Amino acid sequence: MNIQEYISSGIVESYVLGLASNEERTEFEQLCATHAELRQAREAFEKSLEEHALDTAMPAPAGLKKQIWSELSLAGSASSPLSTEKKDGQSIPLTPVRKLSVASFLAAASIILLLGSTLLNFYFYNKYKSSIAKLDEMIASNQQFAASNNAMQTRLQQYETSLNLIKDTNMAVIAMKGQAIAPQSLTTLYWNRQTKDVYLLVNALPRAAEGKQYQLWAIVDGKPVSAGLLDIHSTEGLVKMSNVVKAQAFAITLEKQGGSQTPTVPIYVMGQIQSSLLLLFLFQMG
Amino acid sequence: MNDTVTYNEQELVLSLKAKDQQSFSYLYDHYAGALYSIVLQVVPDKELASDVLQEVFVNIWRKIESYDSSKGRLFTWMLNVARNLAIDMVRSKAYQNSQKNQPMPESDSFGKAGNSVQLSVDNIGLRKVINKLKTEHRVLIDLAYFKGYTHEEIAEIESLPLGTVKTRIRSALTQLREYLK
Protein backbone atom coordinates (compact mmCIF):
# COMPACT_ATOMS: atom_id res chain seq x y z
CA MET A 1 0.00 0.00 0.00
CA ASN A 2 1.20 3.44 -0.91
CA ILE A 3 0.81 5.39 2.34
CA GLN A 4 0.75 8.75 0.60
CA GLU A 5 -2.15 7.65 -1.56
CA TYR A 6 -3.88 6.35 1.55
CA ILE A 7 -3.30 9.65 3.31
CA SER A 8 -4.74 11.68 0.48
CA SER A 9 -7.73 9.37 0.01
CA GLY A 10 -9.82 11.22 2.56
CA ILE A 11 -9.57 8.45 5.13
CA VAL A 12 -7.78 10.77 7.57
CA GLU A 13 -10.65 13.26 7.60
CA SER A 14 -13.21 10.49 7.56
CA TYR A 15 -11.57 8.91 10.60
CA VAL A 16 -11.12 12.15 12.52
CA LEU A 17 -14.68 13.37 11.87
CA GLY A 18 -16.08 10.02 12.94
CA LEU A 19 -17.45 9.07 9.54
CA ALA A 20 -15.32 5.99 8.98
CA SER A 21 -16.79 2.50 9.31
CA ASN A 22 -15.55 0.18 12.00
CA GLU A 23 -13.40 -1.74 9.52
CA GLU A 24 -11.86 1.47 8.25
CA ARG A 25 -11.18 2.64 11.78
CA THR A 26 -9.41 -0.53 12.77
CA GLU A 27 -7.27 -0.44 9.63
CA PHE A 28 -6.46 3.25 10.15
CA GLU A 29 -5.41 2.75 13.78
CA GLN A 30 -3.18 -0.18 12.84
CA LEU A 31 -1.50 1.82 10.08
CA CYS A 32 -1.04 4.78 12.42
CA ALA A 33 0.95 2.57 14.75
CA THR A 34 3.43 1.75 12.00
CA HIS A 35 3.40 4.89 9.82
CA ALA A 36 4.56 8.16 11.35
CA GLU A 37 3.49 10.07 8.21
CA LEU A 38 -0.07 8.89 8.73
CA ARG A 39 -0.02 9.98 12.37
CA GLN A 40 1.38 13.36 11.32
CA ALA A 41 -1.31 13.78 8.67
CA ARG A 42 -4.00 12.89 11.20
CA GLU A 43 -2.56 15.27 13.74
CA ALA A 44 -2.30 18.07 11.19
CA PHE A 45 -5.96 17.73 10.22
CA GLU A 46 -7.01 17.49 13.89
CA LYS A 47 -5.13 20.68 14.69
CA SER A 48 -6.62 22.58 11.76
CA LEU A 49 -10.07 21.34 12.77
CA GLU A 50 -9.53 22.40 16.38
CA GLU A 51 -8.20 25.82 15.38
CA HIS A 52 -11.11 26.37 13.07
CA ALA A 53 -13.55 25.31 15.75
CA LEU A 54 -11.96 27.65 18.29
CA ASP A 55 -11.98 30.47 15.75
CA THR A 56 -15.66 29.94 15.03
CA ALA A 57 -16.72 29.30 18.63
CA MET A 58 -20.10 30.60 19.80
CA PRO A 59 -20.41 32.16 23.26
CA ALA A 60 -21.44 29.37 25.61
CA PRO A 61 -24.86 29.76 27.29
CA ALA A 62 -24.76 31.91 30.44
CA GLY A 63 -25.00 29.93 33.66
CA LEU A 64 -24.35 26.61 31.99
CA LYS A 65 -21.04 26.08 33.75
CA LYS A 66 -22.75 26.43 37.09
CA GLN A 67 -25.39 23.89 36.07
CA ILE A 68 -22.71 21.45 34.98
CA TRP A 69 -20.75 21.91 38.22
CA SER A 70 -23.96 21.45 40.15
CA GLU A 71 -24.90 18.29 38.24
CA LEU A 72 -21.44 16.84 38.79
CA SER A 73 -21.44 18.03 42.44
CA LEU A 74 -18.08 19.66 41.95
CA ALA A 75 -17.44 21.50 45.18
CA GLY A 76 -16.88 25.21 45.28
CA SER A 77 -15.19 25.52 41.94
CA ALA A 78 -18.14 26.92 40.02
CA SER A 79 -17.78 30.43 41.38
CA SER A 80 -14.08 31.19 41.33
CA PRO A 81 -12.97 30.01 37.88
CA LEU A 82 -15.90 31.57 36.07
CA SER A 83 -14.31 34.71 34.73
CA THR A 84 -16.54 34.35 31.68
CA GLU A 85 -19.65 33.94 33.79
CA LYS A 86 -19.35 36.76 36.25
CA LYS A 87 -22.43 38.33 34.71
CA ASP A 88 -24.28 35.11 35.33
CA GLY A 89 -27.60 36.25 36.75
CA GLN A 90 -28.08 33.09 38.76
CA SER A 91 -25.19 33.70 41.09
CA ILE A 92 -26.26 37.18 42.13
CA PRO A 93 -29.53 36.50 43.95
CA LEU A 94 -28.14 33.60 45.93
CA THR A 95 -26.38 35.61 48.60
CA PRO A 96 -29.12 38.17 49.30
CA VAL A 97 -31.78 35.48 49.25
CA ARG A 98 -29.83 33.47 51.77
CA LYS A 99 -29.18 36.56 53.91
CA LEU A 100 -32.84 37.48 53.75
CA SER A 101 -33.88 34.01 54.83
CA VAL A 102 -31.46 34.13 57.76
CA ALA A 103 -32.70 37.59 58.70
CA SER A 104 -36.34 36.61 58.50
CA PHE A 105 -35.62 33.44 60.40
CA LEU A 106 -33.99 35.48 63.15
CA ALA A 107 -36.87 37.97 63.11
CA ALA A 108 -39.43 35.18 63.37
CA ALA A 109 -37.43 33.51 66.11
CA SER A 110 -37.13 36.73 68.13
CA ILE A 111 -40.87 37.41 67.82
CA ILE A 112 -41.60 33.89 69.06
CA LEU A 113 -39.14 34.38 71.91
CA LEU A 114 -40.70 37.74 72.78
CA LEU A 115 -44.20 36.23 72.85
CA GLY A 116 -42.96 33.31 74.90
CA SER A 117 -41.21 35.60 77.32
CA THR A 118 -44.29 37.83 77.68
CA LEU A 119 -46.46 34.81 78.47
CA LEU A 120 -43.91 33.58 80.98
CA ASN A 121 -43.73 37.02 82.58
CA PHE A 122 -47.51 37.08 82.94
CA TYR A 123 -47.50 33.56 84.36
CA PHE A 124 -44.71 34.28 86.83
CA TYR A 125 -46.28 37.62 87.84
CA ASN A 126 -49.52 35.81 88.73
CA LYS A 127 -47.60 33.19 90.66
CA TYR A 128 -45.71 35.96 92.43
CA LYS A 129 -48.94 37.71 93.39
CA SER A 130 -50.55 34.54 94.78
CA SER A 131 -47.33 33.74 96.63
CA ILE A 132 -47.33 37.17 98.23
CA ALA A 133 -50.95 36.69 99.31
CA LYS A 134 -50.14 33.29 100.80
CA LEU A 135 -47.14 34.74 102.58
CA ASP A 136 -49.32 37.50 104.08
CA GLU A 137 -51.79 34.85 105.32
CA MET A 138 -48.98 32.88 106.88
CA ILE A 139 -47.50 35.94 108.56
CA ALA A 140 -50.93 36.80 109.98
CA SER A 141 -51.55 33.29 111.31
CA ASN A 142 -48.02 33.23 112.69
CA GLN A 143 -48.73 36.46 114.56
CA GLN A 144 -51.96 34.91 115.91
CA PHE A 145 -50.01 31.92 117.14
CA ALA A 146 -47.40 34.17 118.73
CA ALA A 147 -50.11 36.24 120.45
CA SER A 148 -51.96 33.22 121.77
CA ASN A 149 -48.64 31.72 122.77
CA ASN A 150 -47.86 34.89 124.74
CA ALA A 151 -51.24 34.69 126.44
CA MET A 152 -50.63 31.05 127.30
CA GLN A 153 -47.18 31.88 128.61
CA THR A 154 -48.61 34.66 130.74
CA ARG A 155 -51.30 32.42 132.18
CA LEU A 156 -48.79 29.64 132.74
CA GLN A 157 -46.53 32.07 134.59
CA GLN A 158 -49.50 33.17 136.69
CA TYR A 159 -50.27 29.58 137.60
CA GLU A 160 -46.61 28.82 138.32
CA THR A 161 -46.41 31.89 140.52
CA SER A 162 -49.63 30.89 142.32
CA LEU A 163 -48.41 27.34 142.74
CA ASN A 164 -45.07 28.50 144.13
CA LEU A 165 -46.86 30.80 146.58
CA ILE A 166 -49.07 27.97 147.77
CA LYS A 167 -46.09 25.61 148.06
CA ASP A 168 -44.30 28.09 150.32
CA THR A 169 -43.99 26.46 153.74
CA ASN A 170 -44.49 29.80 155.50
CA MET A 171 -47.91 30.22 153.97
CA ALA A 172 -50.91 29.99 156.32
CA VAL A 173 -54.17 28.95 154.63
CA ILE A 174 -57.49 30.33 155.87
CA ALA A 175 -60.75 29.14 154.38
CA MET A 176 -63.40 31.89 154.25
CA LYS A 177 -66.86 30.38 154.17
CA GLY A 178 -70.05 31.75 152.70
CA GLN A 179 -72.37 33.58 155.11
CA ALA A 180 -76.20 33.91 155.10
CA ILE A 181 -76.39 36.15 152.02
CA ALA A 182 -74.33 33.78 149.85
CA PRO A 183 -73.96 30.38 151.54
CA GLN A 184 -72.42 28.78 148.39
CA SER A 185 -69.56 31.28 148.38
CA LEU A 186 -66.02 30.37 149.28
CA THR A 187 -62.68 32.11 149.19
CA THR A 188 -59.25 30.96 150.38
CA LEU A 189 -56.78 33.37 151.96
CA TYR A 190 -53.03 32.77 151.92
CA TRP A 191 -51.08 34.72 154.48
CA ASN A 192 -47.29 34.53 154.55
CA ARG A 193 -46.07 34.42 158.12
CA GLN A 194 -42.70 35.92 157.25
CA THR A 195 -43.47 38.57 154.62
CA LYS A 196 -47.03 39.25 155.82
CA ASP A 197 -48.15 39.14 152.15
CA VAL A 198 -51.80 38.29 151.68
CA TYR A 199 -53.19 36.49 148.63
CA LEU A 200 -56.81 35.71 147.95
CA LEU A 201 -58.18 32.85 145.85
CA VAL A 202 -61.79 33.32 144.79
CA ASN A 203 -63.31 29.83 144.78
CA ALA A 204 -66.86 31.12 144.35
CA LEU A 205 -68.43 34.51 144.78
CA PRO A 206 -71.62 36.00 143.32
CA ARG A 207 -71.01 38.29 140.38
CA ALA A 208 -70.53 41.83 141.66
CA ALA A 209 -73.31 44.20 140.62
CA GLU A 210 -72.59 47.18 138.36
CA GLY A 211 -70.73 49.93 140.27
CA LYS A 212 -69.92 47.55 143.16
CA GLN A 213 -66.66 45.87 144.20
CA TYR A 214 -65.65 43.27 146.80
CA GLN A 215 -63.44 44.52 149.62
CA LEU A 216 -61.29 42.44 152.04
CA TRP A 217 -61.21 43.35 155.69
CA ALA A 218 -58.76 42.21 158.37
CA ILE A 219 -60.38 42.09 161.81
CA VAL A 220 -57.71 43.39 164.15
CA ASP A 221 -58.64 43.42 167.84
CA GLY A 222 -62.34 43.53 166.98
CA LYS A 223 -61.97 46.39 164.45
CA PRO A 224 -62.14 46.00 160.64
CA VAL A 225 -59.11 47.27 158.69
CA SER A 226 -59.23 47.39 154.86
CA ALA A 227 -56.91 44.86 153.28
CA GLY A 228 -57.54 45.88 149.66
CA LEU A 229 -60.06 45.66 146.84
CA LEU A 230 -60.65 42.70 144.56
CA ASP A 231 -60.01 43.57 140.97
CA ILE A 232 -63.30 43.05 139.21
CA HIS A 233 -61.67 41.51 136.11
CA SER A 234 -58.74 39.44 137.35
CA THR A 235 -60.42 37.07 139.72
CA GLU A 236 -58.51 34.03 138.49
CA GLY A 237 -55.61 32.61 140.44
CA LEU A 238 -54.14 34.22 143.52
CA VAL A 239 -54.85 37.95 143.83
CA LYS A 240 -52.34 39.96 145.81
CA MET A 241 -53.98 42.00 148.55
CA SER A 242 -52.54 44.49 151.09
CA ASN A 243 -50.03 43.27 153.65
CA VAL A 244 -51.56 42.45 157.01
CA VAL A 245 -49.29 42.35 160.07
CA LYS A 246 -51.84 41.28 162.61
CA ALA A 247 -55.43 39.95 162.39
CA GLN A 248 -57.75 37.51 164.15
CA ALA A 249 -60.15 37.11 161.26
CA PHE A 250 -60.82 38.14 157.61
CA ALA A 251 -64.10 39.10 155.97
CA ILE A 252 -65.29 40.23 152.51
CA THR A 253 -68.14 42.69 151.93
CA LEU A 254 -69.60 44.18 148.77
CA GLU A 255 -68.79 47.88 148.64
CA LYS A 256 -69.17 50.75 146.17
CA GLN A 257 -66.60 51.03 143.38
CA GLY A 258 -63.29 52.19 144.86
CA GLY A 259 -63.95 50.80 148.33
CA SER A 260 -65.22 52.19 151.68
CA GLN A 261 -63.65 53.35 154.95
CA THR A 262 -65.88 51.11 157.00
CA PRO A 263 -67.54 47.92 155.86
CA THR A 264 -71.24 47.71 155.12
CA VAL A 265 -73.25 44.66 155.95
CA PRO A 266 -73.86 42.00 155.00
CA ILE A 267 -70.60 39.95 155.07
CA TYR A 268 -70.33 37.55 152.14
CA VAL A 269 -67.52 35.30 153.35
CA MET A 270 -65.56 35.15 156.60
CA GLY A 271 -62.74 33.07 158.13
CA GLN A 272 -61.21 33.01 161.55
CA ILE A 273 -57.60 32.30 162.30
CA GLN A 274 -57.22 29.21 164.50
CA SER A 275 -55.71 29.94 167.93
CA SER A 276 -52.73 27.67 167.28
CA LEU A 277 -52.08 29.51 164.01
CA LEU A 278 -52.45 32.80 165.80
CA LEU A 279 -49.90 31.68 168.39
CA LEU A 280 -47.49 30.81 165.62
CA PHE A 281 -47.86 34.35 164.24
CA LEU A 282 -47.36 35.90 167.58
CA PHE A 283 -44.37 33.73 168.28
CA GLN A 284 -42.69 34.72 165.04
CA MET A 285 -43.40 38.38 165.67
CA GLY A 286 -41.77 38.01 169.02
CA MET B 1 -7.33 33.25 37.63
CA ASN B 2 -7.36 30.54 34.94
CA ASP B 3 -6.05 33.00 32.42
CA THR B 4 -2.67 32.58 34.06
CA VAL B 5 -2.85 28.79 34.04
CA THR B 6 -2.23 27.09 30.71
CA TYR B 7 -1.99 23.42 29.99
CA ASN B 8 -0.35 21.64 27.16
CA GLU B 9 -2.42 18.79 25.78
CA GLN B 10 -0.62 16.09 27.76
CA GLU B 11 -0.87 17.94 31.09
CA LEU B 12 -4.53 18.70 30.50
CA VAL B 13 -5.35 15.05 29.78
CA LEU B 14 -3.40 13.82 32.81
CA SER B 15 -5.04 16.39 35.10
CA LEU B 16 -8.49 15.55 33.79
CA LYS B 17 -7.94 11.85 34.28
CA ALA B 18 -6.80 12.68 37.83
CA LYS B 19 -10.20 14.44 38.23
CA ASP B 20 -8.55 17.78 38.80
CA GLN B 21 -11.38 20.31 38.92
CA GLN B 22 -9.23 23.27 37.96
CA SER B 23 -8.20 21.59 34.72
CA PHE B 24 -11.85 20.80 34.00
CA SER B 25 -12.69 24.43 34.60
CA TYR B 26 -9.94 25.41 32.16
CA LEU B 27 -11.29 22.89 29.66
CA TYR B 28 -14.76 24.39 29.89
CA ASP B 29 -13.57 27.95 29.59
CA HIS B 30 -11.39 27.02 26.65
CA TYR B 31 -13.63 24.69 24.65
CA ALA B 32 -17.28 25.26 25.65
CA GLY B 33 -17.79 27.84 22.88
CA ALA B 34 -16.27 25.66 20.16
CA LEU B 35 -18.30 22.64 21.24
CA TYR B 36 -21.47 24.75 21.58
CA SER B 37 -20.93 25.79 18.00
CA ILE B 38 -20.76 22.21 16.75
CA VAL B 39 -23.84 21.25 18.80
CA LEU B 40 -25.79 24.20 17.35
CA GLN B 41 -24.94 23.04 13.85
CA VAL B 42 -26.77 19.80 14.61
CA VAL B 43 -29.41 21.13 17.07
CA PRO B 44 -30.34 24.68 16.01
CA ASP B 45 -32.61 25.20 19.05
CA LYS B 46 -30.54 27.18 21.54
CA GLU B 47 -32.15 25.76 24.67
CA LEU B 48 -31.89 22.19 23.49
CA ALA B 49 -28.33 22.83 22.32
CA SER B 50 -27.52 24.15 25.78
CA ASP B 51 -28.93 20.96 27.32
CA VAL B 52 -26.80 18.93 24.93
CA LEU B 53 -23.69 20.95 25.76
CA GLN B 54 -24.27 20.32 29.46
CA GLU B 55 -24.51 16.63 28.72
CA VAL B 56 -21.32 16.86 26.66
CA PHE B 57 -19.29 18.22 29.58
CA VAL B 58 -20.85 15.81 32.04
CA ASN B 59 -19.81 13.00 29.69
CA ILE B 60 -16.32 14.40 29.24
CA TRP B 61 -15.84 14.54 33.04
CA ARG B 62 -17.23 11.08 33.61
CA LYS B 63 -15.75 9.30 30.61
CA ILE B 64 -12.33 10.92 30.38
CA GLU B 65 -10.86 7.53 31.35
CA SER B 66 -11.99 6.12 28.03
CA TYR B 67 -10.12 8.77 26.04
CA ASP B 68 -7.08 7.18 24.32
CA SER B 69 -4.52 9.77 23.21
CA SER B 70 -2.95 7.32 20.77
CA LYS B 71 -6.10 7.48 18.64
CA GLY B 72 -6.31 11.24 18.36
CA ARG B 73 -6.26 14.61 20.05
CA LEU B 74 -8.42 15.44 23.04
CA PHE B 75 -10.42 17.99 21.05
CA THR B 76 -11.18 15.39 18.37
CA TRP B 77 -12.54 13.08 21.04
CA MET B 78 -14.63 15.88 22.61
CA LEU B 79 -15.86 16.94 19.17
CA ASN B 80 -17.12 13.43 18.49
CA VAL B 81 -18.74 13.22 21.94
CA ALA B 82 -20.54 16.50 21.21
CA ARG B 83 -21.58 15.50 17.69
CA ASN B 84 -22.86 12.10 18.80
CA LEU B 85 -24.88 13.51 21.69
CA ALA B 86 -26.31 16.23 19.44
CA ILE B 87 -27.37 13.66 16.81
CA ASP B 88 -28.89 11.51 19.60
CA MET B 89 -30.92 14.53 20.67
CA VAL B 90 -32.18 15.22 17.14
CA ARG B 91 -33.15 11.57 16.77
CA SER B 92 -34.93 11.44 20.15
CA LYS B 93 -38.71 11.09 20.10
CA ALA B 94 -39.13 14.25 22.14
CA TYR B 95 -37.21 16.26 19.56
CA GLN B 96 -39.04 14.62 16.65
CA ASN B 97 -42.40 15.48 18.25
CA SER B 98 -41.37 19.08 18.81
CA GLN B 99 -40.40 19.38 15.16
CA LYS B 100 -43.33 17.55 13.56
CA ASN B 101 -45.35 20.65 12.74
CA GLN B 102 -42.43 22.24 10.99
CA PRO B 103 -41.25 21.65 7.47
CA MET B 104 -38.65 18.97 7.05
CA PRO B 105 -35.29 20.57 7.55
CA GLU B 106 -33.84 19.97 4.12
CA SER B 107 -30.26 21.05 3.75
CA ASP B 108 -31.01 24.31 1.96
CA SER B 109 -33.76 25.37 4.31
CA PHE B 110 -32.15 24.06 7.47
CA GLY B 111 -32.32 26.64 10.19
CA LYS B 112 -34.70 28.81 8.17
CA ALA B 113 -37.82 27.05 9.30
CA GLY B 114 -39.37 30.25 10.55
CA ASN B 115 -38.94 29.21 14.16
CA SER B 116 -37.49 32.19 15.98
CA VAL B 117 -35.75 29.98 18.52
CA GLN B 118 -33.80 28.23 15.82
CA LEU B 119 -30.61 29.75 14.61
CA SER B 120 -29.55 30.08 11.06
CA VAL B 121 -26.53 27.83 11.32
CA ASP B 122 -25.41 28.00 7.71
CA ASN B 123 -22.78 30.54 8.57
CA ILE B 124 -21.28 29.07 11.71
CA GLY B 125 -18.43 26.63 12.20
CA LEU B 126 -17.87 23.84 9.74
CA ARG B 127 -21.08 24.57 7.87
CA LYS B 128 -19.57 27.76 6.60
CA VAL B 129 -16.72 25.74 5.13
CA ILE B 130 -19.03 23.02 3.85
CA ASN B 131 -21.14 25.61 2.07
CA LYS B 132 -18.15 26.20 -0.20
CA LEU B 133 -18.51 22.63 -1.47
CA LYS B 134 -20.49 21.69 -4.56
CA THR B 135 -24.14 20.98 -3.75
CA GLU B 136 -23.82 17.24 -4.48
CA HIS B 137 -20.97 17.07 -1.96
CA ARG B 138 -22.55 19.39 0.57
CA VAL B 139 -25.77 17.36 0.78
CA LEU B 140 -23.85 14.17 1.47
CA ILE B 141 -21.63 15.74 4.18
CA ASP B 142 -24.72 17.23 5.82
CA LEU B 143 -26.41 13.85 5.94
CA ALA B 144 -23.28 12.03 7.06
CA TYR B 145 -21.74 14.48 9.47
CA PHE B 146 -24.59 16.60 10.82
CA LYS B 147 -27.37 14.03 10.66
CA GLY B 148 -25.27 10.97 11.39
CA TYR B 149 -26.52 8.72 8.63
CA THR B 150 -24.35 5.80 7.55
CA HIS B 151 -23.16 5.61 3.98
CA GLU B 152 -25.69 2.86 3.32
CA GLU B 153 -28.56 5.00 4.64
CA ILE B 154 -27.40 7.94 2.55
CA ALA B 155 -27.25 5.75 -0.55
CA GLU B 156 -30.85 4.82 0.09
CA ILE B 157 -32.01 8.36 0.89
CA GLU B 158 -30.31 9.87 -2.15
CA SER B 159 -30.94 6.85 -4.41
CA LEU B 160 -27.24 6.63 -5.21
CA PRO B 161 -24.98 3.60 -5.46
CA LEU B 162 -23.05 3.04 -2.19
CA GLY B 163 -19.73 3.38 -4.05
CA THR B 164 -20.72 6.79 -5.39
CA VAL B 165 -21.65 7.94 -1.91
CA LYS B 166 -18.30 6.82 -0.53
CA THR B 167 -16.33 8.40 -3.34
CA ARG B 168 -18.17 11.71 -3.13
CA ILE B 169 -17.81 11.91 0.64
CA ARG B 170 -14.07 11.14 0.46
CA SER B 171 -13.71 13.76 -2.22
CA ALA B 172 -15.67 16.29 -0.19
CA LEU B 173 -13.52 15.60 2.86
CA THR B 174 -10.23 16.14 1.04
CA GLN B 175 -11.57 19.46 -0.20
CA LEU B 176 -12.63 20.28 3.36
CA ARG B 177 -9.07 19.69 4.51
CA GLU B 178 -7.82 22.18 1.98
CA TYR B 179 -10.36 24.76 3.09
CA LEU B 180 -9.38 24.33 6.71
CA LYS B 181 -5.66 24.80 6.12
CB contacts under 8 A, A 187-216 vs B, are: none
Interface confidence (ipTM) of the complex: 0.85
Predicted confidence band of residue A222 (pLDDT cuts 50, 70, 90): confident
* Residues from chain A contacting residue B180 (CB–CB below 8 Å): 45, 48-49, 52
Segment B33-40 mean pLDDT: 94
Where do the domains of chain A lie? 3-54, 171-285
Q: Which residue has the higher pLDDT, B52 or A238?
A: B52
- Write the CA distances from A196 to A187, A193, A245, A272, B151, integer angstroms: 18, 5, 6, 17, 157
Q: What is the pLDDT of residue B68?
A: 92
Closest alpha carbon to A246 in A191, A207, A206, A188:
A191
Is the Cβ–Cβ distance between B78 and B71 less than 8 Å?
Answer: no
Q: What is the pLDDT of residue B102?
A: 58
Which CATH number applies to B123-181? 1.10.10.10
Say yes or no for a CB contact (<8 Å) between B54 and A43.
Answer: no
End-to-end C-alpha distance for chain A, whole angstroms: 178
Which tens digits make up the pLDDT trace of B121-162? Answer: 666 778 888 888 898 899 999 999 999 999 999 999 999 999
Say yes or no for a CB contact (<8 Å) between B28 and A47.
Answer: no
Which tens digits make up the pLDDT trace of B100-112? Answer: 655 554 444 444 4
Is the Cβ–Cβ distance between A208 and A257 less than 8 Å?
Answer: no
Q: Above 80 in pLDDT, residue A278?
A: no
Q: Which residue has the higher pLDDT, B158 or A158?
A: B158
* Residues from chain A contacting residue B75 (CB–CB below 8 Å): 46, 49-50, 53
* Residues from chain B contacting residue A80 (CB–CB below 8 Å): 1
Distance from CA of A99 to the nearest CA of B (A): 27
A–B: how many Cβ contacts below 8 A? 138
CATH 1.10.1740.10 describes domain B1-105: yes
Record: fold of A171-285: Immunoglobulin-like (2.60.40)
* Residues from chain B contacting residue A46 (CB–CB below 8 Å): 72-73, 75-76
- Give the chain A residue nearest B176 (alpha carbons): A13
Where do the domains of chain B lie? 1-105, 123-181
Distance from CA of A88 to the nearest CA of B (A): 14
